[in-house]
Amino acid sequence: MAVVDYGVGNLRSVERALERAGATAVITPDPDEVAGCDGVVLPGVGAFAPAAALLRSTGLGEAVSEAARRARPVLGVCLGFQLLFEESDEGEGGSGLGLLPGRVTRIAAPGLKVPHMGWNRLHILRPDPLLQGVEEGAWCYFVHSYAADAGTEAVVATVDHGGELAAVCRTGSVAGTQFHPEKSGAAGLGIYARLVAACAAGSALAPAAPESAR
């Protein structure tokens, strides 16, 4: 599984979490290696516009898109999640990868601190393979000032910070979490485990078989 190295984010913590989930993970800046892996994690911290520019200039954005076109599981995390969307109004703004529908806008939370930082509870809107085994109200770790205004069909789970914000989205084999799974305890590690299982099965995040069928 490829962890995309475009110079943004704490890659080692993502790599370690994937390895704990049973993956053979490789941190790579090579677009060909990213496009050829069984699955892709796009991490990231920082600002949208310079990160999007790095993805374009290195060819890594196209490599992530190619993995998605081949129905390989793709997971964006934090800024990496936001980069999966069509555009952002952060700073200079700019275009994202367009793999998830919607745009990224600044959080409006009167009376509350922005950035939204720390532990908060997930509200799961509908069952999804990525969240299989994650309980309603599970605590996850967030650090962000912008949030995705996503199409309703893509939003799987939300978080409340001055209103409901998209916390997990998925369209086909492309998914993302606004929180950091690698910092979110058992719930986050469970998400990585589901991603790793999908890669091992060569599936686009299909539900796991019942115990009796294994």
Task: For 149-190, write each residue's pLDDT tens digit.
Answer: 998 899 999 999 999 999 999 999 999 999 999 999 999 999
pLDDT at 212 over 60: no
Task: Pick the catalytic residue from 37, 78, 140, 169.
Answer: 78
In the block, tokens 């999640």 appear at 81
pLDDT at 205 over 70: no
Is residue 44 assigned to a domain?
A: yes
Percent of the chain with pLDDT over 90: 84
Average pLDDT, the chain: 91
Is residue 98 assigned to a domain?
A: yes
Is residue 210 assigned to a domain?
A: no
Is residue 138 assigned to a domain?
A: yes
Is residue 109 assigned to a domain?
A: yes
Give me the pLDDT at residue 8, please: 84
pLDDT at 119 over 60: yes
Give me the pLDDT at residue 92, please: 76
Task: Pick the catalytic residue from 15, 161, 180, 199.
Answer: 180
Is residue 95 assigned to a domain?
A: yes
Does 144 participate in catalysis according to the annotation? no
Q: How confident is the model at residue 20 (pLDDT cuts 50, 70, 90)?
A: very high
Give me the pLDDT at residue 147, please: 96
Which amino acid belongs to residue 8? V
Total number of domains in the chain: 1
Provide the CATH number for the domain around residue 18.
3.40.50.880
Q: In angstroms, rounded to a whole number, what is the distance separating the alpha carbons of residues 183 and 62?
A: 28
Does 161 participate in catalysis according to the annotation? no
Is the pTM above the cut of 0.85? yes
Write the pLDDT tens digit of every residue in 32-88.
Answer: 999 889 999 999 988 999 999 999 999 999 999 999 999 999 999 999 999 999 999
Task: Pick the catalytic residue from 140, 161, 182, 199.
Answer: 182
Q: In angstroms, rounded to a whole number, what is the distance separating the alpha carbons of residues 106 and 111?
A: 15
Mean pLDDT of 102-127: 95
Domain enclosing residue 119, as ranges: 2-205
Give me the pLDDT at residue 10, please: 79
Does 78 participate in catalysis according to the annotation? yes
